């Protein structure tokens, strides 16, 4: 939807979440094929694709930003871009006003430094080895109130992002630019539990964050349900109140699995 991407789309753009989703899809197809008894010749392409997309060294080469320690999109980008009102007169003399993108600096190929759900995807898909130094930064950005942590769950976009809680267009209010979504928080809990159970230097931090995040989500979802009678599409990252569609027993119903600690 409106999660920040490169300011100037191009064919050279690389999305870290898309890479992770395609790796998961390829792995799922390879596994389903094997369990279905298909010959290796019919699952080999999916297996090869999964192995390629799960390659940690290649992931780091394409998406790991050594400056921030995060996994980020790459594209033709400038932070000096904004929406501004523009007035045009058509061939009939009619005056029209519209919002247009204006860039005061030339976009250059670079990382798109907007920490949020998208930057967590290598962590969410468990692609980072348990003993990797890169894992520490992912745990930090989730636990830092200046970035993703809130008392109600992980917000979708860092509070320090230039596009945090900003409209995408005139009529397109913030959607994945701060609000708390239970589907991604569920994936985060599953990964935190996984890393907490793996031998390595980050197990303790993962276990602590897992307990805190699970408690925050369960407490707020229950509170909002008791106050309104609904499960909500998303939750406000500032006060925890329900937002968007309701009743929303789609992925917000994952609260049942969170309570039961079922992540597989």
- Point out the catalytic residue in the list 1, 90, 91, 226: 1
β strands within 116-258, DSSP E = 149-150, 153-154, 234-235, 242-243
CA angle 222–211–60, rounded 5-degree value:
115
The pLDDT of residue 89: 83
- In tens digits, the chain (264 residues) has pLDDT values of 899 999 999 999 999 999 999 999 999 999 999 999 999 999 999 999 999 999 999 999 999 999 999 999 999 988 877 777 778 888 888 888 776 777 778 889 999 999 999 999 999 999 999 999 999 999 999 999 999 999 999 999 999 999 999 988 778 899 999 999 999 999 999 999 999 999 999 999 999 999 999 999 999 999 999 999 999 999 999 999 999 999 998 999 999 999 999 998
Tens digit of each residue's pLDDT (9 = 90 or more) over 133-150: 999 999 999 999 999 999
Is residue 1 annotated as part of the catalytic site, yes or no?
yes
Domain ranges of the chain: 76-112, 113-260
CA–CA separation, 109 and 178 (whole Å): 26
Active-site residue, 13 included: no
Q: Which two tokens stand for residue 181?
A: 């979504």
Residue linked to tokens 């989703």? 21
Catalytic site residue from 54, 233, 236, 237:
233
- Paired with 71 in beta bridges are 64
């Amino acid at each position: 939807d409106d999660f920040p991407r490169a300011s100037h789309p191009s064919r050279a753009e690389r999305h870290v979440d898309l890479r992770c989703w395609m790796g998961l899809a390829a792995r799922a197809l390879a596994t389903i094929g094997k369990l279905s008894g298909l010959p290796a010749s019919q699952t080999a392409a999916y297996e090869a694709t999964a192995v390629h997309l799960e390659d940690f060294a290649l992931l780091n080469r394409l998406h790991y930003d050594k400056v921030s320690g995060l996994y980020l999109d790459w594209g033709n980008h400038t932070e000096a871009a904004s929406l501004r009102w523009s007035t045009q007169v058509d061939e009939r003399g009619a005056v029209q006003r519209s919002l247009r993108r204006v860039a005061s600096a030339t976009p250059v190929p670079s990382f798109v430094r907007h920490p949020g759900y998208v930057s967590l995807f290598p962590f969410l898909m468990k692609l980072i080895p348990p003993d990797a130094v890169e894992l520490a930064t992912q745990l930090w950005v989730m636990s830092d109130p200046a970035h993703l942590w809130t008392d109600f769950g992980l917000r979708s976009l860092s509070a320090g992002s230039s596009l945090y809680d900003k409209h995408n267009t005139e009529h397109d209010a913030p959607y994945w630019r701060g609000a708390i979504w239970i589907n991604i928080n569920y994936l985060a809990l599953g990964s935190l539990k996984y890393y907490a159970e793996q031998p390595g230097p980050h197990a303790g931090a993962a276990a602590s964050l897992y307990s805190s995040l699970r408690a925050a989500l369960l407490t707020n979802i229950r509170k909002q349900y008791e106050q309104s009678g609904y499960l909500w599409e998303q939750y406000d990252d500032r006060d925890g109140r329900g937002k968007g569609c309701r009743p929303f027993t789609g992925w917000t119903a994952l609260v049942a699995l969170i309570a039961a600690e079922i992540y597989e």
